[in-house]
Amino acid sequence: MQAPSFTIGVEEEYLLVERGARCLIREVPNGLMADLSARLGQQVSPEFLQCQVEVGTQVCKDISQIREQLQMLRGVVAQVIGGYGLKLVAASTHPWARPEELEHTPKTRYDNLEKDLQQVARRLMICGMHVHVAIEDEELRMDLLDQTAYVIPHFLALSASSPFWEGQDTGLQSYRISVWDEMPRTGLPEYFESFAEYRRHVEVLTRAGIIEDATKIWWDMRPSARFPTLELRITDVCTSLEDAVCLAALYRCWLRMLFRLRTQNQRWRRYARMLIAENRWRAQRYGCASELLDFGRSTLVPYAELVEEILELIAEDAQFFDCEKEVSHARVILQRGSSAQRQLAIFYRELNGGASREAALVAVVDWLISETTPTPI
């Protein structure tokens, strides 16, 4: 079998906040999206809520291009919205926003989504990051989807950036997942023996008129309906650019590692969804600061140990893609904390220093703004 190209692309969703009050905007200013499109073309688009915007990199051959693209996209968006008195935030939830204060984007797709899902859709004031890696062969795509389910919780833990909801510390590192799981056709991907079997199941839903196409399959990871890629969707949007680059590199290397196994007539073991789901919950609840279940040993293992195991498994692939530095950044995240951990540290530092709850939350947003675009473009 010919090796996949493993080209890569990343999509990020951002929040738009008012410069003064630090709250999410209710309605996008007239002309803003046109100005963004004039600068970025099809690399930028509106999202479900008017306080959100989505960007996408071009198809990239190496991870340095992903870094350059994301830095450019964050910088240009921040620059353009700055002219409208707004600031950019890369986080999967805003610390105190409430759904009733926001308006969805007036597009037919989003109108239908709100009509169909009602309050579930109205709660979608969340942002994510999606990573596409090209796996051109359809059957290989399904085989790697099956095997990659194991590490879905590991990716979530590193990316967690949504500890707050409606002004409260939720006690979860990724509250976004709690909101997202209210949606239909979400969660861990199903197991399929072939691409044809997957297509048949999707056609059951399309023929019944439940969904228009496979873009409405919103699993944590899926075969893209638009590109010949495997799309990782579990991750919160990373506040730090380098964290985002790290996760993209890890995912790409993992897929190549699995392909190497296949060329040696080996494969990653298929684990029961109930076990992976348990780790998914633990990643959602505790992030990278605690432990995940080691299925083979039937015991909880510090997350840092599991990261080291992954780095060892993909060492050859990181060398092949020349991204050893990027994947090893996972250790930096563990040492200084994920976005969620850092947000909570700022919040409680401010509270313990005598700040009001409102002022402490504003301090969190100030940090998110500064970390999202640390260098002006």
One DSSP character per residue, 181-192 reads: TTSTT-SSPPP-
> Helix (H, G, I), strand (E, B), or coil: what is residue 114?
helix
| Average pLDDT for 71-98 | 98
Question: How crowded is residue 18: how many other Cβ atoms within 10 Å of its Cβ?
Answer: 15
Cβ–Cβ under 8 Å, residues 310 and 318: no
Residues 162, 168, 174: CA angle, nearest 5 degrees: 20
Using one digit for the tens of pLDDT, what is the confidence trace for 21-68?
999 999 999 999 999 999 999 999 999 999 999 999 999 999 999 999
- Pairwise CA distance, residues 365 & 346, whole Å: 10
Which segment of 120-124, 197-201, 203-207, 250-254 scores lowest on mean pLDDT? 120-124
Taking all residues of the chain, what is their mean pLDDT, rounded to a whole number?
A: 96
* Position 375 confidence tier, pLDDT thresholds 50, 70, 90: low
CA dist., res. 216 & res. 205, Å (int): 10
Q: Please, are residues 310 and 164 in contact by the beta-carbon 8 Å criterion?
A: no
Percentage of residues in the chain with pLDDT exceeding 90?
A: 94
Mean pLDDT of 291-317: 96
User: Residue 311: its pLDDT value, please?
Assistant: 98
| Alpha-carbon distance values, 256 to 189, 195, 231, 318 (Å) | 20, 19, 14, 9
Q: Does domain 8-372 have CATH number 3.30.590.20?
A: yes
Terminal-to-terminal C-alpha distance of the chain = 43
The amino acid present at 258, given as its one-letter code, is L
Sketch the domain layout of the chain as residue ranges.
8-372
Q: Give tens-digit pLDDT for 221-257.
A: 999 999 999 999 999 999 999 999 999 999 999 999 9
CB atoms within 10 A of CB 203: 11
Residue 169 has pLDDT above 60, yes or no: yes
Give the pLDDT band (50/70/90) at residue 377: very low
Per-residue pLDDT at 140 exceeds 70: yes
Does residue 119 register a pLDDT over 70?
yes
Helices (H) and strands (E) in the chain, counts: 15, 11
- Residue 138 pLDDT grade (very low, low, confident, very high; cuts 50, 70, 90): very high
Reported pTM:
0.96
Lookup result for tokens 């240009």? 76
The whole-number pLDDT of residue 121 equals 87
Task: Find, among 219, 243, 249, 252, the residue nearest to 340 by Cα.
Answer: 243
| Three-class secondary structure of residue 9 per DSSP | strand
Token pair 């759904």 is found at 99
Q: Is pLDDT above 80 for 108?
A: yes
